[in-house]
Every structure is written in C-alpha cells, then in structure tokens.
Structure 1
Amino acid sequence: MKEQDHDRLLRIKTEGIREWQHQTSHYNRYEATPYMALEALFDEYTCTTFDKFVDFGCGKGRFPFYIHHHLHISVTGVEMNGQLYQEAMENLARYTERSKRTRASISFENALAEEYEVEPIENRFYFFNPFSIQIFQKVIRNILLSVENHPRSVDVILYYPTSEYIQFLEQNTAFELLREVKVPVLYDQNSNERFLIFRYE
C-alpha cells in the first residue's frame, strides 16, 4: 500500500518532509516513519493492549495513528513545534470521526520532549532521530527516573538510529539491546534503515 493510500485509510495527512526556517542544532527536520518500516517493525516486535507508547517528536502523528488503528494500543505523541502539533490535532479530528471504538486512547501534547512528564503506565518509547543527543539524554533520564519511582520493564525503540544514541544507551545506561529489525527496501540497503529495540528490566 502506498504512503498516500495508507494516509487515506486512516483519514490523516502525514506525508512530506519539513525543514525548519530557523534550524537549530538540537531539533531535526520533520519526516514521518515510512509505513513499510512500521509494518516490518510490528511483524517482529510484539506488543499487548496493556502497553502504552510515547512517540517523542511525533510530528503530524503517523506513528501514533498507526499503532492505535492497527494494534489498538494507547499512545501519546509529544511534539514541540506548534504548527506540527496543530496538524496532528487536525488529523486526530478526522481520524476519530470514523475510527472504531476501542479502550485504547490516543492523544497529543504540545511540549518539549525533555519537559514531558513520563506517566507510570507508559512503557514503550519511540524515537525517529527527533533531536540532539543532549536532549535524548535528558529524555532517557526522565524515563529512568519514572522507572525508579514506578518499577517496570520499558523499551526504547530507535528508527534510523544514530551512533550517538546507541553509544549513550549501551555505555551510560542499563538498557540492553533486545532486537534489531531491518527494513526491506527496493533500492540499495542503507545500514541505518533499521529499528533497534533496547529494554530496561
């Protein structure tokens, strides 16, 4: 199924790449995770309806809408850019018009990732290179602080992972690599075209 067809199925608009007019070294451009990649991830990575995801740097919300629709899992998208947040909310309004009723919730927060307060029930955290390593470190520390206060197993899922993200998790935290999921592509395989899933028990 083509990208635009999948968007149409969910009644959302998430295509395209957006560069920032005032680009900073800490926040990266908007680009949605390809649907083909999401299909590859969830073909191999098992979740339950008791899990709750947070997508840091969710943009227009493709990842949250995908897992809510296909997996019936609760999810919160966190987006610091006001324009992208507004587009995510417009997508949410169209999506909820026809989405099937489910116990799973879907919501969006207009906030800086490093200031987001991790809830005790949140246990799956998704990153598609939304920001610098400095912000990533702060977000991971917030997750670990939440785990310290409310013990639970948590997963961090990286798409197109940077060496800095990987190095930090492996050398500075107790997260351990659980699985690598490679994304099939029609052109020459890019070694970064993959997911890395890290788990903290």
Structure 2
Amino acid sequence: MTDQELDKFLHIRTEGTIEVLQSSAHYNRYEATPYQVLDVLFDTYPLKPTDHIVDFGCGKGRVPIYSAYRFKNHATGIDLNGRLLQEAYVNLAEFRAGQKRSGGSIEFEQKTAETYEIQAGQNIFYFFNPFSVEIFQSVIDNVLKSTESKKRKVDVILYYPTNAFVFFLEEETPFERIEEILIPTLSIDNDDERILIYRYE
C-alpha cells in the first residue's frame, strides 16, 4: 500500500513535508518516515508489547501510532511544534475511533527534546534527523543518565543518519552498532537511505 492508503487504513493524516518556524534554528522541518521504511525496520526489529518507543520530532504522530497498532507497545511522541502536535492528537483520536482492536498506549508531549525527562520504562529512541547534533548529544546524555537510576538495555534507531550523529554515537558514547538495514527500493544511488540501530546495556 502507498503512504496515502496506509494513512487511510489507520484513519490518520501524516503525509507531506512541512517547513515550520521553530523557536530554534537547531530544529529541522517535518517529514514523516515513509511507511515502507517502517515496514522494513519493524520486520527486522519487531517490538514487544512491553517496549516503550520514544519518537523525537514525532510531528503528526505516524511512528508512535503505527508501532502501537502493529505491536501494542507503549509509544511517546515528542515535538516542539504545537501545530504539528495538535494534528497528532487529532490523528490519535481518529485512530482510536477507527480501530476495532486497541493498540498500545500512545501519548504526545510538546517539549524541547533536550529538556524532555527520559522515563524509566522507555527503552527505544527513534530519530529521523529532527534536530542538530548538539541537541542529539544532549538527548543521548539524558538517555544514558536515565540508565543510571534504572539499569536497562536501551536502543537508538537512526533513519537516514547524518555523519555527525553516527560519529558521536560511535566515538563518544558506549553505544555499539548492532544492525544496519538498507531500504531496498529507496537506497539506489543513496548510501544514506538506511537505518542504523545502536545498543547500550
């Protein structure tokens, strides 16, 4: 199915790329992860109902809603932009109303990524280049600090990863790369069209 068809199936509207004015130049435009990418990711990396994924720069909520529908896991979307989050809340309400079966728990929060407090049960963190490497460093530091009070395995998922994100994780943190997933029909002549998964335990 196309992205439009899958949105319709889930009773949500998450398509498009939107340039939005942010209070900080460190934050990037909204662009939803293609469903094809999510299919490939979660075919290789299935979630458990006990997993709690956090999508930084969640926009209209595609990743949290899709994952919770497919796996009934917990999902949290973080975004600074109130306009996009308002659409995410509408999508969540329409998704809930349109489903015969219940998905996992889904919540959204309007917050700068670097000030968001990582919760003890959160163990998977998803990034599709939502902001600068400086903010990414702060978020990863917060993730690692959270493992000091609640020891657990945590994974970081990067779609379309920048060299700066990769260098930081591999050279300046204890995270280790455990998976590289190429996106079959999207990766022609584009080495960045891939997913990298890192783990700390």
TM-score by length of structure 1 reads: 0.95
Q: Are 2:85 and 1:85 equivalent residues in the alignment?
A: yes
Deviations 1:169-194 (A, max 9, x none): 01111000010011111673411111
Aligned to 1:161: 161
Question: 2: CA distance between counterparts of 1:92 and 1:23?
Answer: 25
Aligned to 1:182: 182
Equivalent positions of 1:11-30 (< 5 A) are 11-21=11-21, 24-30=24-30
Question: 2: CA distance between counterparts of 1:189 and 1:68?
Answer: 32
Question: 2: CA distance between counterparts of 1:187 and 1:49?
Answer: 30
Range with greater deviation from structure 2 (148-157 or 44-53): 44-53
Report the AA paired with residue 38 of structure 1: L
Question: 2: CA distance between counterparts of 1:22 and 1:105?
Answer: 28
Q: For residue 152 of structure 2, give the secondary structure of its aligned residue in structure 1.
A: coil
Q: Are 2:101 and 1:119 equivalent residues in the alignment?
A: no
Q: Is the 8 Å Cα contact of residues 27 and 132 (structure 2) preserved in structure 1?
A: yes
State, as a whole percentage, how many aligned pairs show the same letter.
51
Equivalent positions of 1:1-201 (< 5 A) are 1-21=1-21, 24-102=24-102, 104-185=104-185, 188-201=188-201
Report the AA paired with residue 142 of structure 2: N
| Number of residue pairs the alignment of both structures matches | 201
Q: For residue 171 of structure 1, give the secondary structure of its aligned residue in structure 2.
A: helix
Q: How far did 1:146 drift?
A: 0.3
> CA 1:80–1:24 in 2, change beyond 3 Å: closer, same or farther?
closer
> CA 1:61–1:177 in 2, change beyond 3 Å: closer, same or farther?
same
Range with greater deviation from structure 2 (84-93 or 99-108): 99-108
Question: 1: CA distance between counterparts of 2:60 and 2:162?
Answer: 22
TM-score by length of structure 2 reads: 0.95
Deviations 1:110-159 (A, max 9, x none): 11111111110000000000000010000000100000111000000000
Unpaired runs of 5+ residues, structure 2, are none
Unpaired runs of 5+ residues, structure 1, are none
